[in-house]
Structure 1
Amino acid sequence: MMQTPVDRSILKVHLPNGGFNMVKYGDATDVKDIIKLVVGRLAAGDRYFSRCFALKLVVISRRQSFWLHNDLSMYQVRQKYEAKSMPEDLRYELRVRYMPRSFHELFQKDKVTFFYLYDQVRSDYLKEYAEHIDPEVAIQLGCIEMRRFFKDMPQVALDKKSNFDYLEKEVGLKRFLPKSVIDSMKSKALRKLIQQQFRYYAQLTESECVFKFFETLFTVFNFSHERFRCALGSGWSISVEIVVGPDVGISYLTEKASTPTHMTDFAQVQSMQTMTGDDGKGVVQLKIVGATEPLTITCKALDEVEDMADLIDGYCRLVHDRQGTLWSRRDDSIPRTPRNSFPRSGGRSDELFHGNERISDYAEIVEDEDDYSTPDGKHKGRHVRRKTRDNEIPREHIRLVEILGEGQFGDVYKGMYFDKEGMQVPVAIKTCKEEGEDTMTDKFLEEAYIMQQFEHPHIVKLIGICSDTRPVWIVMELAKHGEMRAYLQNNEHQLDLVMLILYAYQLSTALSYLESKKFVHRDIAARNVLVSSHDCVKLGDFGLSRWVEEQSYYKASKGKLPIKWMAPESINFRRFTTASDVWMFGVCIWEILMYGVKPFQGVKNNDVIGKIEAGERLPLPSGCPPSLYNLMCSCWQYEPSKRLTFADLKTWLYEILDEERCRQEEEMHRDNRRVQAISWGSNGSDEEPPPPPKPARPQFSVSPTDNTPNLSVNAGNSFNSGMGSLPHQWNSTANHSAGHNTLASYPSSENKVQGSRLPDHIQHPYQPQPPPSGHHIEYHLQNYFPSAGYMQVSSSCNQQPPPPHPHISLPTRQNQHHSNPQPAAFQQKQQHFNHIISGTGRPDPPPLTIPPPPPVEPYEHKTMNNQVLSPLSPPPTPQVHILSFACCLSV
């Protein structure tokens, strides 16, 4: 006989942080099954205090609430409660109702439940009690929550106007303070009070803030107690207020008493029964150990009695550590669940639908914080699956080759994909681990949904997904060189500055593309960049691990965040925008220029924000151009509005890259010229090669005119042929005045600064003066000192030749051709080497023949231009400026 199919509905369970969980259920689904399901979705792992949770049904229009007992089926709930109200008027809430005796024990054994309770208590405080307490206490509680919410913010952060403006306008003070306090105080006075109070709690950790909040709030009201207005006894009764709590058990409070009077503990309760009295009131009877008669409590309505009974029964389950209930109903006020439901498939605690239906048919918890990679942050699971179906590829077309990496939530493999044409394409396959996969499959596919929207040469491309069976695979293009940080460290000596800037520019194009799509990456770092080839990098990792951590109830504030890469507003306020991505990109550039070194080495995460607040930034990397470091500093502006956009960064990086390429080319050309100059004279013979020319010296042609005075004068073929026999570096001249001390590497006459002179410490002590015009002038080159780097040009008009340089003594050369002539030889009557200017007649001087220089000996001396010279090496080119005077060359 065929069974009737289960009537399925969707239940929306609200959480105190503003999120909710959509759960499908059947008629036979128990309340405890729904509680267990939603509690299991709060975070990974088991909840030690899972029995502290209860499900509450609120009728919004009547402001009436009902606590649903664990053993109720959803059919019974619908028949008793939903039949009296419209579905949109009902609200289901998951709450911590049964409080543990020690909050410290709760924190140590179950942190998720601990922080869930904190959110619940704080939400109740703001809704019900905040408007009625002292403003000073309200500000204290608000500052404690600010410290907890912005747990990485230093105590001086709120002293900055920009931070407080963000807190006030973007986050909103209403999140922390009651409306009455905000409206009753002036803005400046309220700001000053908040800044003062915040300093008192600035050193507290997140858990210490929660304990401090509980301690301060206890002075206003005790949230661990529930109170019921009722009467003791069934006939003649006493009007009291029943107080139920972990520390007082079951107690009562009279109008005149200030403290509750204890009646019994939960451990003494043996059984409990509820019924309707003769007068229509609700009655609960508790059987107490050692008591002859039951403890009878009467309330105005049966619903109130059942709420109290559910509370006592929950505490009894905690104390006795049992799943069963002590509560029974004398008159069955709840309809029975129809028997045509599917039978329970015992043993599967994770099954909601009895039969073959699994609890995987539910949607994800929606966090109160947007997902960082989507503009709206809310893509439902079925919507994601529908979108990613377009990229579904058969699993048999994928072959796993080797594992590339292992992670907490999945592994990455290298594999081969066989496309429709049968071609093999190397790919990377990201897998989702089997454990708890139902809780992260949609988040895992969310990454594929995001990646399929991007088409950019420097963003990792999605090939497809395999979601038909478990485990789910995401197939992406393979970056054969792996992550960039490891690549930089392993290839430091093969990567020049141009290549590093190229990487930064390529990433800027990818991020500019994301900026145009209004996507925020939120984890830009070298570890999340992949190297496809030596000159191509691609941005990857669109946040699976981040999402998985954020799918926990305590989202990013409890997950691991890259503090040392994050912008100050992200650390302080968990604010992630395109401007915060720009900050992280600046840090990523620094990583690239440092060849994979992580930022803020040796600095604790908690200390990073203090350094940033104090104005400290990452130092200048070695070899980094100043223009690029200035660009990085612009990314690290404290105010987000003052940072550049990625479109601007892309433009500036291109300019810097082009400039660095030009500089590199110039250096290469200069190095090539040096190499060519060194090897110029090497023709395979044993002869001594002539010395190389000096590229910095301009070559002047011999000019016969008077307005181009040169050392060589066009006076006949014999003179020109003689000059041709001079060594090459002796045959170049520059224009200088007579008697000028000339450096061996002095700049050309075109670039010479007027009035320039040598420093005093290298001026020759004997500075000859130019002779009067009309005198017979003769010039000698005997006082040229090659090791000193400059030459002395002297006039012989009625003067003795100057003595040798006082600081340099030259060894005697053995070669007769290069021996220094004696002064007497220059005092002889000039017959052949004097050229006397008389009119325009210029006799031809005899040809000069100078042999090549001997080999250079080990002795070296550096000139002031760091030019290595030897006393036996050929001297640099003498430079003489002659203005229509007689020229005499003495050898």
Structure 2
Amino acid sequence: MNPPEGRCGTPPATGSPDRLDKATLKVHLPNGGFNVVKFGDAIDVKGIITLVTSRLATGQRAYQHLYAMRLHHPPTGEVYWLHQDTTMYQVQEKYERKHPHSEWRYELRVRYLPQNLTDLYEKDRVTFYYYYDQVRNDYLCADHAALDQDVAVQLCCLEIRYFFKDMPQIALDKKSNLEYLEREIGLHKFLPRAVLDGMKPKALRKLIQQHFKKVAALSELECMFKFFELLRAHYRFDQERFRCDLGSGWSIPVELVIGPDLGISYMTHRATSPTRMAEFDRIQAIQTLVSDCEVHRKAMVQLRVAGTTETLTITCPSLEVAESLADLIDGYCRLVTQSTTSLWNRKDAHPPKYRQQQQHGVGSRQASGGSGSPETTAAQTGTMLSEDYAEIVDEEGDYSTPATRDYELVRNQVELAEIIGEGQFGDVHKGTFKGRDNQVIPVAVKTCKADADLATAEKFLEEAYIMQQFDHPHIIKLIGVCSESPIWIVMELARLGEMRAYLQSNKHRLDLATLLQYTFQLSTALSYLESKKFVHRDIAARNVLVSAHNCVKLADFGLSRWVEDQSYYKASKGKLPIKWMSPESINFRRFTTASDVWMFGVCMWEILMLGVKPFRGVKNNDVIGKIESGERLALPQNCPPRLYSLMSQCWAYEPSKRPSFKEIREVLNEILMEERHQQQETMRRENRRVQAMSWGSTGSDDPPPPKPARFPIFGAADSTSLASLTGTLSGGGSINNATPAPTTYIVAQNPEVLVQLLRENESRGISPSVYTTPASAFNTLAVDFEKNISASPPSATVATPAPLTSAPSQPSPAVTATP
């Protein structure tokens, strides 16, 4: 088989096994996602549909036969429905002649509808939710110029309630929530563009708030059925209509209407309701024909109906319309009769001249090196069995094989020991890994239960796929995986275990500097993730591991996701850590780096609280109410004010007002440096105090080191003190051997006040040297100076008469005089 044009290089020689390389097909889903399928030419459309639907969720789809494949060319608006028995070779031959492969969009859709949607919900919820997404997307993309604005807002509120089912009923009463919804998510995801352009923003917000109150109490399922009911009255999404003629000669122009409750019906231009022609279960055969006339070429669909002698002929404006109509009727017939066999006979769809032209085109392609028929290709390459199977690569990566291949370990290299924890998928063991040169490394091994299905196993391996992309000293490193059942993820061992438990068991020996060091180390890891455009989504003390007393590492990447710039990750159903989550994550399931910042603020609070969980005693459902009302976690004991200020910034209601992890890292580094400096100063003072105590208590005759001589400044000392100092020096004795005089201070607010105090003391005949008692609140008083002293402030603090030491009662800028 030659490779499809434009996707492979020079084809290998005939008969080479490399000729079986598969082409790639991107299948789009209505929710904006897609699946990438690798296929061979011989696989049919039905096979691709089966494979894609099997990846929507685990298990088989009970309503598998509702799905169809649509081929859409966005530049021109062309749309073709691909019959389930058409091979991909036939699709390429027919449609890639018209437009290049890269311009075509393959879409998986629910086309054949059951009469009862409640039955569909009960038996196949995956398909029901898929169909809801499809109807909603079609409604938003269609032109609804005549749609009543009030109805559109009601539908908008139903969708908001459905998508944000955990949001409090009064959430949109808060103006900031509605503005956030409009700014960060966009009302275009809930309202058609025509409605948004036709309404003033203020009036639209007010109408949304009014209508949301009416649907706020509805459940998810009630919202969906109400949405279907309300939309159906204005937009018949459950019907398809075709303008065609009944008969082949003298024909009657009609609008054919096909749907689950109408069967095959038609409407004339004067009719007000459809007229039923046939039921799906009465159709025995379907055939499409093309006339042989070059000038008036017609395409017809012929239906053989049980109980009638003549075939029902429907003339269509083109062969494409005829094929679409035939595929629709055939699909409904299979659905109603619970059959997998097609009633559409497509062998003689084209007249001989038309088939000769097609064959001539194929022959030309073969002559020029193009693809031949599947049978010819099979003869050239041997068996086609391997081409009958398709491989799907999930949009987030196939985690089971290609992503972790370089990390595959031989199982006998890993030896399990005792269980040290329990994860979502199985137990976590302590163990050893024998690496190169028989070096034994202690490891932690996450295990997946042996009876896990394929989807669970792939979800389990997601964490390994994410971890292998990181290399940071404060992020747990992946060592490897054993991808065969039972699946193991082997990672480095943090010997001191989970941080929350470590904080609680070591609370008496953990000082503030160590706790700040933990927060700083985590901020470096999260700043690294921020640069890699990853959101962690589960930042909490329980997901941090302690490698050493001075080293912590971020772990548990099971919820992590990669997000592009200016985008976000919207979580699907599942348990989430509500008490750690930001308001937009709780209300709208919206996860960004800003929501990670909020969670890190909570994690810092946990660390400073030594492992206490946030919002203790508060139910999960009540957390968002407290946050909405402005309540935040309280200031932890011994928490530096600057650190709590940083936490509060992380808890800003508006995501745009929160700091980035780079900014957080820088601030935490400064706080840590300040705390370490204070620790060193405290230690120096304590050492001096201990030394002083040791000198006085050892009983040694050696005197303590003398204090340096202090000389007066500003000539402020009186004559008595100067004479005393002079007498000491002139007496011939060394200043080091003299008995040290008491050091005394007079403290004032400025030099002028100090001069005034000294003058008063001198006039009273009191020397500063007689102030020997420490100042306190009991021996100080405030004195008002006389008004004629203009240079002095209105008051100052002075001491009572000797022998007390003068000092201010509270710290302020001062000039100090020493005798």
Q: TM over 0.5, yes or no?
A: yes
Q: Measure the CA separation in 2 of the matches of 1:488 and 1:315.
A: 64
Give 1:558 deviation, angstroms: 2.7
What is the correspondence of 1:128-207 to structure 2 with a 5 Å cutoff?
Answer: 128-154=142-168, 156-158=170-172, 162-207=176-221
Q: Which residue of 2 aligns with 1:327?
A: 344
Kindly indicate whether the alpha-carbon contact (under 8 Å) linking 2:399 and 2:465 is maintained by their aligned counterparts in 1.
no
When structure 1 is superposed on structure 2, of 102-111 and 618-627 the one drifting more is: 618-627
DSSP 3-state at the match of 1:285:
strand
What is the correspondence of 1:397-546 to structure 2 with a 5 Å cutoff?
Answer: 397-405=413-421, 407-409=423-425, 412-430=428-446, 447-448=463-464, 450-465=466-481, 474-488=489-503, 499-543=514-558
Q: 1:25 and 2:36 equivalent?
A: no
Q: 1:432 to 1:546 in 2, by over 3 A?
A: farther
Q: Which residue of 1 aligns with 2:286?
A: 273
Kindly indicate whether the alpha-carbon contact (under 8 Å) linking 2:772 and 2:804 is maintained by their aligned counterparts in 1.
no
Give 1:342 deviation, angstroms: 6.3
* Post-superposition CA distance 1:56-110 (Å, at most 9, x none): 1123444232222222222222233333433233221100111122223333333
* Post-superposition CA distance 1:129-186 (Å, at most 9, x none): 3334233333332333333333334455445555444444443333333333333333
Counterpart residue type for residue 497 of structure 2: G
Kindly indicate whether the alpha-carbon contact (under 8 Å) linking 2:69 and 2:106 is maintained by their aligned counterparts in 1.
yes
Kindly indicate whether the alpha-carbon contact (under 8 Å) linking 1:27 and 1:341 is maintained by their aligned counterparts in 2.
no
Kindly indicate whether the alpha-carbon contact (under 8 Å) linking 2:606 and 2:613 is maintained by their aligned counterparts in 1.
yes
* Post-superposition CA distance 1:401-448 (Å, at most 9, x none): 455555555664433222323221111234567778876888776655
Q: Measure the CA separation in 1 of the matches of 2:520 and 2:384.
A: 54
What is the correspondence of 1:285-296 to structure 2 with a 5 Å cutoff?
Answer: 285-288=303-306, 290-296=307-313
DSSP 3-state at the match of 2:334:
helix
When structure 1 is superposed on structure 2, of 396-405 and 415-424 the one drifting more is: 396-405
When structure 1 is superposed on structure 2, of 51-60 and 429-438 the one drifting more is: 429-438
Larger Rg: 1
In the alignment, which of 596, 603, 608 is matched to residue 581 of structure 1? 596
Q: Which residue of 2 aligns with 1:318?
A: 335
* Post-superposition CA distance 1:591-632 (Å, at most 9, x none): 334554443345444433222111122344566566554443
What is the correspondence of 1:524-603 to structure 2 with a 5 Å cutoff?
Answer: 524-543=539-558, 556-603=571-618
Q: Measure the CA separation in 2 of the matches of 1:594 and 1:11.
A: 53
Q: Measure the CA separation in 2 of the matches of 1:754 and 1:406.
A: 64
DSSP 3-state at the match of 2:102:
helix
User: Percent sequence identity over matched residues?
Assistant: 57
DSSP 3-state at the match of 2:615:
coil
Q: 1:214 and 2:231 equivalent?
A: no
In the alignment, which of 587, 610, 622 is matched to residue 607 of structure 1? 622
Kindly indicate whether the alpha-carbon contact (under 8 Å) linking 1:384 and 1:449 is maintained by their aligned counterparts in 2.
no
Q: Which residue of 2 aligns with 1:53?
A: 67
TM normalised by structure 2 equals 0.70
Kindly indicate whether the alpha-carbon contact (under 8 Å) linking 2:423 and 2:446 is maintained by their aligned counterparts in 1.
no
DSSP 3-state at the match of 2:537:
coil
Give 1:559 deviation, angstroms: 3.6
Q: 1:314 to 1:408 in 2, by over 3 A?
A: farther
TM normalised by structure 1 equals 0.65
In the alignment, which of 361, 375, 381 is matched to residue 339 of structure 1? 375
Give 1:588 deviation, angstroms: 1.5
Counterpart residue type for residue 79 of structure 1: E
In the alignment, which of 78, 81, 89 is matched to residue 95 of structure 2? 81
Q: 1:223 to 1:602 in 2, by over 3 A?
A: farther
* Post-superposition CA distance 1:621-673 (Å, at most 9, x none): 56656655444333212122333443454455456667777689979999999
Counterpart residue type for residue 178 of structure 1: P
DSSP 3-state at the match of 1:421:
helix
Q: Measure the CA separation in 2 of the matches of 1:119 and 1:132.
A: 23
Give 1:475 deviation, angstroms: 3.1
* Post-superposition CA distance 1:549-581 (Å, at most 9, x none): xxxxx9613343322211112233444333222
Counterpart residue type for residue 58 of structure 1: H
Q: Measure the CA separation in 1 of the matches of 2:467 and 2:50.
A: 34
Q: 1:596 to 1:32 in 2, by over 3 A?
A: farther
Q: 1:102 to 1:673 in 2, by over 3 A?
A: farther
User: Gaps (5+ residues) in structure 1?
Assistant: 344-351, 367-379, 549-553, 684-705, 708-746, 758-879, 884-891
* Post-superposition CA distance 1:782-835 (Å, at most 9, x none): xxxxxxxxxxxxxxxxxxxxxxxxxxxxxxxxxxxxxxxxxxxxxxxxxxxxxx
Kindly indicate whether the alpha-carbon contact (under 8 Å) linking 1:29 and 1:73 is maintained by their aligned counterparts in 2.
yes
Counterpart residue type for residue 354 of structure 1: L
User: Gaps (5+ residues) in structure 2?
Assistant: 1-13, 292-296, 360-371, 564-568, 700-719, 722-770, 782-801, 806-819
Q: Measure the CA separation in 1 of the matches of 2:47 and 2:282.
A: 26
In the alignment, which of 727, 732, 752 is matched to residue 776 of structure 2? 752
Q: Measure the CA separation in 1 of the matches of 2:79 and 2:261.
A: 25
Q: Measure the CA separation in 2 of the matches of 1:124 and 1:356.
A: 34
Q: Measure the CA separation in 2 of the matches of 1:453 and 1:610.
A: 38
Q: 1:643 and 2:664 equivalent?
A: no
Q: Measure the CA separation in 2 of the matches of 1:358 and 1:459.
A: 40
Give 1:27 deviation, angstroms: 2.0
Q: Measure the CA separation in 2 of the matches of 1:419 and 1:291.
A: 78
Q: Which residue of 1 aligns with 2:302?
A: 284
Counterpart residue type for residue 375 of structure 2: R
Q: 1:256 and 2:270 equivalent?
A: yes
Q: Measure the CA separation in 1 of the matches of 2:116 and 2:611.
A: 47
Q: Which residue of 1 aligns with 2:732?
A: none
Q: Which has the higher helix share?
A: 2
* Post-superposition CA distance 1:278-313 (Å, at most 9, x none): 57331221323x445554434333433332232222
Q: Which residue of 2 aligns with 1:35?
A: 49
Q: 1:881 to 1:2 in 2, by over 3 A?
A: closer
What is the correspondence of 1:649-728 to structure 2 with a 5 Å cutoff?
Answer: 649-650=664-665, 652-653=667-668
Q: 1:402 to 1:257 in 2, by over 3 A?
A: farther
Q: 1:646 to 1:126 in 2, by over 3 A?
A: closer
Q: 1:71 to 1:635 in 2, by over 3 A?
A: same
Give 1:317 deviation, angstroms: 2.5
Counterpart residue type for residue 280 of structure 1: K
Q: 1:58 to 1:454 in 2, by over 3 A?
A: closer
Kindly indicate whether the alpha-carbon contact (under 8 Å) linking 1:283 and 1:302 is maintained by their aligned counterparts in 2.
no
Q: 1:341 to 1:748 in 2, by over 3 A?
A: farther
Counterpart residue type for residue 275 of structure 1: T
Q: 1:214 to 1:423 in 2, by over 3 A?
A: same
Q: 1:355 and 2:386 equivalent?
A: yes
* Post-superposition CA distance 1:487-535 (Å, at most 9, x none): 4455666656665444334323332443455543222012211122344
In the alignment, which of 320, 337, 359 is matched to residue 303 of structure 1? 320
Q: Which residue of 2 aligns with 1:364?
A: 394
